[in-house]
Structure 1
């Protein structure tokens, strides 16, 4: 280790001794015993959901020693069953000490608290000696980690996204290496002090007085990656250059003063760096007016990371929060491109044992915004993003609201994660996730590693449902690194502030390794080479190495679905699918939630139909669609009305051939139709998408629906205005004031009279926090209960009204509107122009020309 260039000779001891930690543990367990007696734990549920039941408190626990003794015995039994013969003598000696201690306590139990504490510390010393005999630690003589202030400053409400912005970071911290971590005197040495940056904007400067985040060690254990920011937190004045920011200075002034530092500049955001441990080179890999965090080495040597450089803004805030998503670059920072085109945030990619990318995606298309930040997986080139766990809760309080920091467990298909809050930071209770088990929308795939800590925000106490009257809390553990399914390195603090490095096991034992006197710890990683997963070949042409120098990335992808009838929830009996619709979601391009109110659905995304493609009799479909845009699919019947609709999204990459077995098919069963022959759709060329009516892309009420109302309804309704609701396109109505004079009243949100009347009869699904849970009924779509067919308006129109029966083309426009969530606006700006029926081009997320995926001779280009 001394070969590491720049490694300082002086070592920093832990600011807290094991004995001090045991005293804190004693007091903490005394309080926990009181809480057990006060019924603050659903012990029955916790025992059922715990990875190891011995870790769960019991009503028979009367002293802290009762708890630690049981957990220590469970650890001893485990090590005896898994320990090699060479260490059996050591375990026998420890067992003898444990039995001697227990006999003394039985013979003369301490009466005074001082005596009980001393006895407890003797037991903890035995536990510590036992924990460090774990064979998994035998070759582990060093740990790399960061010191980092967790983000608890800078805005009135802490939110899961705010902790990842450089202007919210508190200066302080450094990368360290902890030597002899399982000895009696571990010491930490800083890896960076005066090392100058060799490349990038900060060339020649050391990384001082800033904040470090998201440490990663490469597979060969000779290079570190991390993010660093200068952590500039001063309020902005309005004189800065705002051209690259999400909003304007006027927008900022609408926020409270503690939001007035949300300004994107290179010295205010995180950038990614690498530290070569062989030659000491410190290299800046990213730059610009955007945050880049969470670097992780892929098996092929590229780096996957998170960046908000695409410019989209997350939807539920009241400030400028860039939506960071997966990106990829070479290890020197070149050839960077997005792997994801998701419209909201993603976090903390890691590589599974199979060589796939595991990460957290915040996923809420027309559904609750707090209940789905869970495990997704994709190929290293970004292909085929899939939710493996937790994306569709039956009831969000029955499981964690957010899960962060996924890491694959060695020699296992399971992953460790932190059960974290939505309105909080990336700390919480440790869990083990098993994606091989079917997801029941609750806890079927989850085991609690630390059952004494409740799921922040999801639970008011361990095992009990969320109570809005209770504070969240519970942010005790963070950044776990699995050594096995039962043993982890992580950071931990009983008060959720001054996190130290700990060895934690599933039996409930926690051993302090090292703690800094001032700055909390983060990201412990064993300093040792680890097995590199097999390299999965790229199947896209995004990388410059994957295509010829003269070739440009393709803007069109072939998309194949084997059988649309293969769904996790069956389609209504007798329904025949004739078409599939491809809907383009437009990322939010302005600052404030529900400004504008896109439609009747809270936090609804603007969108447009890219077109429809035919579905063959056998359920197969084969069509062209644009790459690099966020889309979802709908299944349509012969009337082109939605039967089934995604509540998530996907995308295709340049050079990718996107394929699915079905429409959200059950991944635990074989396809329903394994044919001997080729699918019918593959016996022909891929279909070009058939465009839908004018006004469907982007979809606006004024362009899609209002012409139908003007043609069929407005004249009669205007004649009988005292009895009939207004259906015209005006965004105001005239009444009389108290003096009998005409008075103009603007309709809320800039909507029109026609929309204000019809949307009450239409169909929608909401985003938003919790209050819309019952309105949506489910987080997922129920086939046959979506869109126009689930509305009150469609039956009314089908039966006719006052001798009027709409022409099929007119009815189609209205059903298409309802199938697309009954929105009013098609983008987040120029609302008055949209209300007048003018075309407003979405700022983000639209396909790049040429539009060869459309039927010949048709193009959206003339609409823009």
Structure 2
């Protein structure tokens, strides 16, 4: 409190009912209640200087006891111009005193009391800092590990004395006394000595970086001021580089209480020094610093501090080199921005860092990684491989898309070590292998947006990728909403043991499993709320003990600590006015084995060998024989100075995608083909019609001459190749088959628009129609794109991080393909031909992009296209210019010969068929009477166990006219169909809770959000009361078999006729409540006016976003703007009004499986066999009335799991 520049206090008497108070403030200040911090708030601007117009914002809710309480506002430094607080209670406030400024003598009394209380709190923290039980655990461990080198008996005796003194001191504090600490300090010093007597510190020499902080801010400084990269979306080039007083120093006398620091190296200017790496033999070390041109460079000095030399190239004034480590063969791996790629989420305004290998002897520099965004933190594992962090977000949430990767020192064998498809951790920085353990890593958990500049710091954690490669995200919501929009959110899924997550422990965190909390600003919003300490630069001594730079609490200095898994953090040294970082033992260490180079730099290609594409979870459940080929495309990442997803299209991803060709897949699932070397490529398995069965949403890179081997599709990295020789192994690798021409970037104008000109423009030349029956306009390519893409379902910019189910975004889930398959105004896939279908399928599978190039402007006097190409030739041997390929395709489009519109054959008008069925249609009263006549013979519920019950209603026998004359072509000819026997049907769709009784591992997961900056996986669809979806027809039938056995009844799915009869409930209109223009708000959860509010946007670090509307002319997502229902996306079941037979959600919410095969009408009967696909009925929350209804049919593979398809059961009684 002594450093406060202002203190605002108020006292109030409080009636304990209600026990909550809401504190609301105006413009970052700590709020304390009775001296205890309850919130840091006042973070936003007030909206004006006038106190009357300044905006109030909610701060926090606190529980208070009756009596006189004091609220304090505290801030280090001057208070903002406007700072006010008001106190509210949910049921009013009694006896509130005025909030006037106390008299001077009263203020002094308050301040003296507050200072006294502050001293007692600080003393309590000091006394509690050494936890006797944690110290005892460490002493016992060292006693067992080093019985001849550690005096455990003496240390335990001293610890017992300390524990007694600690208890005595705490008792005095509990009585409000301020005890003398002389004896305690002496005993605490002995405890510290016990921990520092660890034989691992016998070397007594550390390398550290000492950084002096000016203006007395060593305790408050953060971010760039301390030489940190402030946010994890940046790299070294965002640091000022100058203005620092720092040096590399040698620390000795570690156990003395006052270690000695001796300067080893200090730059002759005020440049930053960081990223110190000691060679394996301990004779030299690397560091990052600024060269004479103020570019980042890699320097080397000898162990005595002399022989300074710059190792990285010095002849490129636009390139930076930093963050290097030694390789076992004497070469080094370093980071550089020579790739000339811009950070996509920052519109290309900052350069991406990639990994390169430098031979100091020859100065030869070769690029190793070719990724979309930053690669950093390289280190060498015990087996000689390089481990590093790769940030990538190809159609996945970019905050959380950082992976730990490994590769051989020559760049071959690039594999995900940890984090593929994992929401957690947001970042795992400075990972280092642990001596004596084959796979354990020590690193720092950090965030993406890092309030306070905490990009390089966070919580120390231990990760063992040999246990698991990702942290499973299984969240069980209590609401369909994540929480309060506009507020920061941290989502903690099921906390699992290390065997399932790979995360062994947080430090501190002894004996506790690691929570995989998903949070953007993870340091401030998660870790500092759990524990006040921050750490960085871990240096493992073994699997239990570590050196680290650490700041135990907000008022501490950054010092060097010995930390352990038992929750001890023992200060070795701190220095007032200084921050100490990057501790490491200054002695030789074992040199890992040298992995020989496997590259052939004369080669321009790499070979890809897939043993069995059906192996692994990526194609789980897909029948063998489905995949016929593999589409191969390359990423063309954005340039420095120009980037961002809006330039690619609408919800189309971040990058230009360049189609290279296709490779054939053998009957046994094997494939062997060539890809261009040093190129990020993605693979898409294709079905017989050329549609992607799975999306990779990442890439692989092969080095020149490398053989890239995969066991299957997204197989576990630990999976071994099958022992038998595959069919593809019997032949040489094949060049890719060209896809409708040479390799080129995919551009809508060049690839899709000619299809529309040929087959569609005759009817779609006029201005678009937006509304319940929209019609796109194809007058020009841009208009065509803007009005056609709403008919395409795709992964978008930031789809769910989890591995997609096969066919999640298959073309069959897009309205465009559904229309063309059935026939649209005489146009069908059959009439369009195979090439037209292939172009449309490729467009959808590539995320429906518009642009195929970047056309970047000159950046700081440099042509980014020419410079990238020059550097790619020089450092990677790559001589490919996608911008030129696009220009060639653009010229071909401009000079094309127009073949003219191919008018489809006229569509015959649908005449009345005159069909009638006895007793059909019927009014509501007649329908209820018919139901009541059979209800007594049918069950009204099914007990699923554990209190879970499924309600049923009776559906009577009867006849009706099935189909719709003015519907889609597959809804006619109509037929009179007789339902011979009554049956019972679920009132609602099977819920997630009900389905979990059969399959507790099933997870319906989430509905994707649009735009970027997502802090949650999507809109919740897995609440227990929402319908189970992403359940295949085969799984739904298996549920029915299980429920039949459990209930002793015949439970099954309805056939098409049973479903439509039940949905109509006696009506002959498209919906039981009326026609396609009827207001469905009370009756069905369909694509209503609110669905337009599907766009998210940046609202702050960690903030749960509001929904915003897409422009009305975009017609996206497709929706009916006239009406509004009670749901947004999928809702809880049974929220709509029932039809005459008591059935809810027959139309809308989710579509529903039937057991019928998809066959042409007239309806051939339940026993008829059409093709293998099964019929889905009703329509979902994603369908407009124009695309839904009692007669609407869609067809999916029986093994296909569809995002908006669930099911309900029937019970048939003999």
TM-score by length of 1: 0.74
Contact 2:606 2:677 in 1 (8 A): yes
Show structure 1 runs of 5+ residues with no match.
Answer: 1-29, 40-60, 194-205, 231-265, 543-552, 732-751, 832-839, 852-858
Question: Matched residues in 1 for 2:133 and 2:549: separation?
Answer: 23
Measure how far apart 1:499 and its partner are.
2.0
Question: Matched residues in 1 for 2:526 and 2:702: separation?
Answer: 38
Distance 1:210 1:860, change over 3 A: closer
Residues 199-278 of structure 1: pairs in structure 2 closer than 5 A: 207-229=268-290, 267-277=293-303
Q: Which has the bigger relative contact order, CA under 8 A and spacing at least 6?
A: 1
Q: Secondary structure at the match of 1:275?
A: strand
**Counterpart residue number, 1:76:** 139
Q: Secondary structure at the match of 2:324?
A: strand
**Counterpart residue number, 1:115:** 179
Measure how far apart 1:282 and its partner are.
0.3
Work out whether 1:477 is the aligned partner of 2:535.
yes
Q: 1:537 aligns with which of 577, 581, 596?
A: 596
Question: Matched residues in 2 for 1:166 and 1:513: separation?
Answer: 31
**Counterpart residue number, 2:655:** 605
Measure how far apart 1:411 and its partner are.
1.0
Work out whether 1:500 is the aligned partner of 2:559.
yes
Q: 1:704 aligns with which of 724, 741, 751?
A: 751
Q: Secondary structure at the match of 1:165?
A: helix
Question: Matched residues in 1 for 2:405 and 2:878: separation?
Answer: 30
Cα deviation 1:346-365 (Å, max 9, x = unaligned): 11100011111111111211
Measure how far apart 1:714 and its partner are.
0.8
Q: 1:679 aligns with which of 715, 719, 726?
A: 726
**Counterpart residue number, 1:284:** 310
Contact 1:419 1:455 in 2 (8 A): no
Work out whether 1:715 is the aligned partner of 2:762.
yes
Contact 1:143 1:177 in 2 (8 A): yes
Contact 1:373 1:402 in 2 (8 A): yes
Work out whether 1:134 is the aligned partner of 2:198.
yes
Cα deviation 1:211-253 (Å, max 9, x = unaligned): 11211000000101001026xxxxxxxxxxxxxxxxxxxxxxx
Q: Secondary structure at the match of 2:762?
A: helix
**Counterpart residue number, 2:1127:** none
Contact 1:701 1:817 in 2 (8 A): yes
Structure exhibiting the larger radius of gyration computed from Cα positions: 2
Measure how far apart 1:450 and its partner are.
2.1
Question: Matched residues in 1 for 2:730 and 2:516: separation?
Answer: 52
Cα deviation 1:726-745 (Å, max 9, x = unaligned): 432536xxxxxxxxxxxxxx
Distance 1:755 1:695, change over 3 A: farther
**Counterpart residue number, 2:1077:** none
**Counterpart residue number, 2:1201:** none
Q: Work out the number of aligned pairs and report it.
A: 703
Question: Matched residues in 1 for 2:272 and 2:696: separation?
Answer: 40
Question: Matched residues in 1 for 2:755 and 2:166: separation?
Answer: 85
**Counterpart residue number, 1:809:** 835
Work out whether 1:165 is the aligned partner of 2:237.
yes
Distance 1:593 1:310, change over 3 A: closer
Distance 1:688 1:104, change over 3 A: closer
**Counterpart residue number, 1:757:** 787
Question: Matched residues in 2 for 1:481 and 1:830: separation?
Answer: 43
Question: Matched residues in 2 for 1:114 and 1:456: separation?
Answer: 41
Question: Matched residues in 2 for 1:496 and 1:379: separation?
Answer: 43
Q: Secondary structure at the match of 2:818?
A: helix
**Counterpart residue number, 1:549:** none
Contact 1:146 1:212 in 2 (8 A): no
Q: Secondary structure at the match of 2:399?
A: coil
Measure how far apart 1:312 and its partner are.
0.5
Q: 2:692 aligns with which of 642, 646, 664?
A: 642
Distance 1:460 1:634, change over 3 A: closer
**Counterpart residue number, 1:582:** 632
**Counterpart residue number, 2:809:** 786
Question: Matched residues in 1 for 2:718 and 2:463: separation?
Answer: 16
Work out whether 1:310 is the aligned partner of 2:339.
yes
Contact 1:151 1:163 in 2 (8 A): no
Q: 1:448 aligns with which of 505, 508, 516?
A: 505
Distance 1:402 1:117, change over 3 A: farther
Measure how far apart 1:464 and its partner are.
12
Question: Matched residues in 2 for 1:421 and 1:777: separation?
Answer: 19
Q: 1:392 aligns with which of 421, 443, 446?
A: 421
**Counterpart residue number, 1:490:** 548
Q: 2:261 aligns with which of 174, 188, 212?
A: 188
Contact 1:645 1:781 in 2 (8 A): yes
Cα deviation 1:37-64 (Å, max 9, x = unaligned): x99xxxxxxxxxxxxxxxxxxxxx9994
Cα deviation 1:783-842 (Å, max 9, x = unaligned): 1213424423222221121111121210110001111111101122279xxxxxxxx999
Measure how far apart 1:131 and its partner are.
1.0
Contact 1:285 1:333 in 2 (8 A): no
Measure how far apart 1:116 and its partner are.
7.2
Contact 1:368 1:779 in 2 (8 A): no
**Counterpart residue number, 1:567:** 616
Measure how far apart 1:77 and its partner are.
1.8
**Counterpart residue number, 2:359:** 330
Measure how far apart 1:67 and its partner are.
6.0
Measure how far apart 1:408 and its partner are.
0.3
Distance 1:62 1:147, change over 3 A: closer
Measure how far apart 1:609 and its partner are.
1.0
Work out whether 1:614 is the aligned partner of 2:671.
no
Q: 1:356 aligns with which of 375, 380, 385?
A: 385
Measure how far apart 1:667 and its partner are.
3.3
**Counterpart residue number, 1:263:** none
Question: Matched residues in 1 for 2:537 and 2:383: separation?
Answer: 21
Distance 1:471 1:106, change over 3 A: closer
Question: Matched residues in 2 for 1:753 and 1:216: separation?
Answer: 55
Measure how far apart 1:571 and its partner are.
3.6
Distance 1:658 1:475, change over 3 A: farther
**Counterpart residue number, 1:555:** 604
Measure how far apart 1:159 and its partner are.
2.4
Cα deviation 1:703-741 (Å, max 9, x = unaligned): 01000000010122226866863432536xxxxxxxxxx
Question: Matched residues in 2 for 1:142 and 1:614: separation?
Answer: 57
Contact 1:695 1:701 in 2 (8 A): no
Contact 1:729 1:753 in 2 (8 A): yes
Work out whether 1:799 is the aligned partner of 2:829.
no
Measure how far apart 1:318 and its partner are.
4.9
Residues 67-106 of structure 1: pairs in structure 2 closer than 5 A: 68-87=131-150, 90-104=151-165
Measure how far apart 1:661 and its partner are.
1.5
Q: Secondary structure at the match of 2:596?
A: coil
Q: Secondary structure at the match of 1:707?
A: helix
Cα deviation 1:241-270 (Å, max 9, x = unaligned): xxxxxxxxxxxxxxxxxxxxxxxxx73431
Question: Matched residues in 2 for 1:170 and 1:597: separation?
Answer: 36
Work out whether 1:379 is the aligned partner of 2:408.
yes
Question: Matched residues in 2 for 1:223 and 1:128: separation?
Answer: 32
Question: Matched residues in 2 for 1:641 and 1:116: separation?
Answer: 78
Distance 1:294 1:154, change over 3 A: closer
Contact 2:348 2:638 in 1 (8 A): no
Show structure 2 runs of 5+ residues with no match.
Answer: 1-34, 41-61, 64-123, 214-221, 474-495, 858-864, 891-1214
Distance 1:488 1:830, change over 3 A: closer
